[in-house]
Amino acid sequence: MASQIQERLTTDQDLLLMQEGTMLRKVRTKTWKKPRYFRLQNDGMTVWHARQADGIAKPTFSISDVETIRKGHDSELLRYLMEEFPLEQGFTIVFHGRRPNLDLVANSVEEAQMWMRGLQLLVDLVASMNSQEQLEQWVRDWFNQGDRNQDGRMNFQETQRLLLLMNVEMDEDYAYSLFQEADVSQSDTLEGEEFVQFYKALTKRTEVEELFTNFSSDGQKLTLLEFVDFLREEQKEKDHAADLALEFIDRYEPSENGRLLHVLSKDGFLSYLCSKDGSIFNQDYLPIYQDMTQPLNHYYINSSHNTYLLRNQLCGQSSVEGYIRALRRGCRCVEVDVWDGPDGEPIVYHGHTLTSRILFKDVVATLAQYAFQLSDYPLILSLENHCTWDQQRTLAKHLTEILGEQLLSTTLEELVVDKLPSPEQLRGKILVKGKKLSIIEDTEVEEEEEEGLEKDQDSDMDSDTFSVLNVQPERESQELPLGIKDKKKVVTCPMTFLNICGHVLVRQASSIFESVLLSNQFYLNSRTILCPDLSALVVYMRTVPFFSFTHSKENYHIYDVSSFSETKAKHLIREAGNEFVQHNARQLCRVYPSALRTDSSNFKPQEFWNAGCQMVAMNMQTAGCAMDICDGFFRQNGGSGYVLKPEFLQDIQSSFNPQRPISLFKAKILLVQCPGCR
């Protein structure tokens, strides 16, 4: 692969020009826009920059860190500056992980296209590397970062400093002995390839050596039969081991002679272990393998909390990039906190904090573009609506006009009304989860003009909110048989009070709630009444407050969704685990991080998955063990963002209690030892 890159560096016109370097404008913010001289290094894998062509250069990024290249039109920041810089001259470098994007503006359209073509070519070459080549390239990237004077050499002291940056712990005497062994040129310095060999020797996995020796008769290679034994005993390949052994030797043995003799060297063995074929993850579960025709509430759904944030929830940056990143990692439920904005345009941010603001219409446009790039199964838009009447109408207008056919705005005709639609039935659709003025009616019942108003409920509210309002929740009527409508009275509000009246409540026709609605205490805790245009877009996901499992069972429908803070959910699991399981078998629920997590940290999601909670919302901008668990879990089933719950968590009569698993559901302890943590 390295030879392919070197060949392209001498023949590809774009790469030749990139090696000469050009002046580009680096754009960090709306006000920080400075010219920098960017140049592709001779290794073809790193890009450095300087203030000017003959200035002191420093590394900017490695090609192996780049995920993709976007045009200027797709950059949130460059779009804000389109009057200053033509979008055709801009482009964005998107990195793997959580590293911020790099926005650049060229001096001409041709120059911008040259950089985009050249970078994409190199990114594609890196993507075609095998795992061993990727490891070696990663080490070379670090070497190039540590080689500050660009002389291609590092002495032992420089090497020590670099290893500390790489989080490699070492005994100094042992490291120095390996350094001397790797110094083939005997210059008391290591060149690039020498450093790669030094790093590999320093980080040699003794447990891998032992494993290899246990199956190898001479300690140097694995014969075909020895490799078959390894696949059967350690990898549990069973009946297919013989065929797989031949296939893997041909694929991972670097020596042509070894492939001809059907033997596997230590390097080939390590390449196999680091490959997807050697992964503990069952490759049969990578594509869609589960039944996708079950009701939505039978699935775990990959969900995000405060999706618009790139950092913490107190003063972090809000950006559409948060939605792009979440969607690209398989998220199927995104959150939008929307508030009144200037010039009649609703804005998205974490209310009453110092987080920055973005336009709601930009968020919707981003969802329209990226919603189904990774998964075509339904995307849920969890709408936290804090807008006044007029801007709610704007919300509905943007959702309808921008999303078009992607937006699910009516019930599915073929759907049986006693269960939610399936992911398969909703493919390519975006569902709005939010407040709704009226319940979903059977399409065959007689049309009536009267509409019921429901309790106003943010997804992050529970019954405590009502106690603050000094309003006691009344039991709603029992769900009626199909074909019979439950007549409810619309509690109206005088036009003069539209901007101050708060909770929209459902009451029977005999209710005299008008007096409560107009009470002063109600005004003090006000929210604007819900706009019918926006309400109409909520089809299968009406948010409702939670009071008790009995209340939910007697009063709520299959399309009603309650949300729980992690604290509330943990309490319910401890005190009423089985009821929680049955609740989640009947309808959807969402669990979100505590408001005390101002640093946007995460909880461990599996505790809530064990109770059957479908939408366990994570702060996806925050790396860590919790997100690793979430990413690993939703890697299965094609990365669709939907994983079918076990049957005992789908049964509304289930006896399972996650706090006290008994009978067939016995807890098992899995011990995973990390070699680096010994």
663: which 2 tokens? 């009978």
- b/e for 257-273, b at 16 or more Cβ within 10 A? ebbeebbbbbebbbbbb
pLDDT of residue 271: 87
- Whether residue 359 contacts residue 315, with contact meaning beta carbons closer than 8 Å, is answered with no
353 has a pLDDT exceeding 60: yes
Please enumerate in sequence order all residues whose Cβ is within 8 A of that of 200, keeping only pairs 6 or more positions apart, or say none. Answer: 139
Residue 567 φ then ψ, to 5°: -65, -45
Q: Give the residue carrying structure tokens 């729980």.
A: 564
Whether residue 557 lies in the annotated active site: no
Distance from first CA to last CA of the chain, Å, rounded?
35
Q: Which amino acid is at 117?
A: R
| Listed range (150-164, 238-252, 276-290, 385-399) with the worst mean pLDDT | 150-164
Q: Which amino acid is at 173?
A: D
pLDDT of residue 202: 79
Quick one: 520 exposed, middle or buried, by C-beta within 10 A (0-12, 13-18, 19+)?
A: exposed
- pLDDT, average across residues 98-110: 95
pLDDT one-digit tens code per residue, 436-479: 985 444 333 333 322 232 333 344 444 333 333 333 343 333 33
What is the full DSSP assignment across 15-61? Answer: HHHHHH-EEEEEESSSS-EEEEEEEE-TTSSEEEEESSTTS--EEEE
| Listed range (114-118, 234-238, 343-347) with the worst mean pLDDT | 234-238
- pLDDT, average across residues 156-183: 83
- pLDDT, average across residues 364-391: 97
286: which 2 tokens? 């990578």
- pLDDT, average across residues 314-322: 94
Three-state SS for 609-669 is HCCCCCEEEECCCCCCHHHHHHHHHCCCHHHCCEEECCHHHCCCCCCCCCCCCCCCCCCCC
Q: How confident is the model at residue 519 (pLDDT cuts 50, 70, 90)?
A: very low
- pLDDT, average across residues 323-343: 97
146 vs 591, residue with greater confidence: 591
pLDDT one-digit tens code per residue, 174-184: 889 989 999 99
Q: Give the residue carrying structure tokens 């070696």.
A: 136
575 vs 169, residue with greater confidence: 575
Residue 234 φ then ψ, to 5°: -95, -40
| Listed range (238-252, 481-495, 529-543, 560-574) with the worst mean pLDDT | 481-495
Which range among 122-126, 588-592, 595-599 has the greatest average pLDDT?
588-592
- pLDDT, average across residues 265-272: 90
pLDDT of residue 474: 37
What is each CA distance from 344 to 289, 365, 496, in whole angstroms?
Answer: 46, 18, 20
Q: How confident is the model at residue 2 (pLDDT cuts 50, 70, 90)?
A: low
Comparing C-alpha atoms, which of 506, 510, 527, 522 is closest to residue 455? 506
Cβ count within 10 A of residue 127: 11
Whether residue 305 lies in the annotated active site: yes
Q: What does the alpha-carbon distance between residue 280 and residue 231 come to, in Å, rounded to a whole number?
A: 12
Q: What does the alpha-carbon distance between residue 399 and residue 534 come to, in Å, rounded to a whole number?
A: 9
pLDDT one-digit tens code per residue, 562-580: 999 999 999 999 999 999 9
Residue 68, strand partner residues:
94
pLDDT one-digit tens code per residue, 381-437: 999 999 999 999 999 999 999 999 999 999 998 666 789 999 999 999 999 999 998
- pLDDT, average across residues 67-71: 96
Comparing C-alpha atoms, which of 431, 374, 437, 436 is closest to residue 406? 431
266 has a pLDDT exceeding 60: yes
- pLDDT, average across residues 364-392: 97
Q: How confident is the model at residue 665 (pLDDT cuts 50, 70, 90)?
A: low
What average pLDDT is seen over the chain? 84
Q: What does the alpha-carbon distance between residue 353 and residue 598 come to, in Å, rounded to a whole number?
A: 11
What is the full DSSP assignment across 554-608? Answer: HH--TTEEEEEEHHHHHHHHHHHHHHHHHHHHHS-EEEE--TT-TT-----THHH
Q: Give the residue carrying structure tokens 């618009």.
A: 308
What is the full DSSP assignment across 432-470? Answer: EEB--SS----TTSPP-S--PPPPP--TT--HHHHHHTT
310 has a pLDDT exceeding 70: yes
Q: What percent of the chain has pLDDT over 70?
A: 83
- pLDDT, average across residues 61-85: 93
pLDDT of residue 637: 98
- 597 in the Ramachandran plot: left (φ > 0), alpha (ψ -120 to 50) or beta? beta
Quick one: 632 exposed, middle or buried, by C-beta within 10 A (0-12, 13-18, 19+)?
A: exposed
pLDDT of residue 164: 78
Q: How confident is the model at residue 124 (pLDDT cuts 50, 70, 90)?
A: very high
Q: Give the residue carrying structure tokens 């309490």.
A: 571
* 103 membership: H or E segment, kind and range: strand 102-105
Cβ count within 10 A of residue 487: 11
What is the full DSSP assignment across 147-181? Answer: -TT-SS-B-HHHHHHHHHHTT----HHHHHHHHHH
Q: Strand, helix or coil at 301? A: strand
pLDDT of residue 213: 94
Q: What percent of the chain has pLDDT over 90?
A: 64
Q: What does the alpha-carbon distance between residue 92 and residue 95 come to, in Å, rounded to a whole number?
A: 10
pLDDT of residue 664: 56
- 98 in the Ramachandran plot: left (φ > 0), alpha (ψ -120 to 50) or beta? alpha
Residue 644, strand partner residues:
299
Of residues 49, 298, 350, 583, which has the active-site annotation?
350
pLDDT of residue 368: 98
Tally the residues of the chain.
678
582 has a pLDDT exceeding 50: yes
Q: What does the alpha-carbon distance between residue 40 and residue 62 come to, in Å, rounded to a whole number?
A: 10
Of residues 49, 305, 398, 503, which has the active-site annotation?
305
pLDDT of residue 473: 41
Q: Going by DSSP bridges, is the β-strand pair 102-105/90-95 parallel, antiparallel, or unpaired?
A: antiparallel
299 has a pLDDT exceeding 90: yes
Q: How confident is the model at residue 635 (pLDDT cuts 50, 70, 90)?
A: very high
427: which 2 tokens? 């493919």
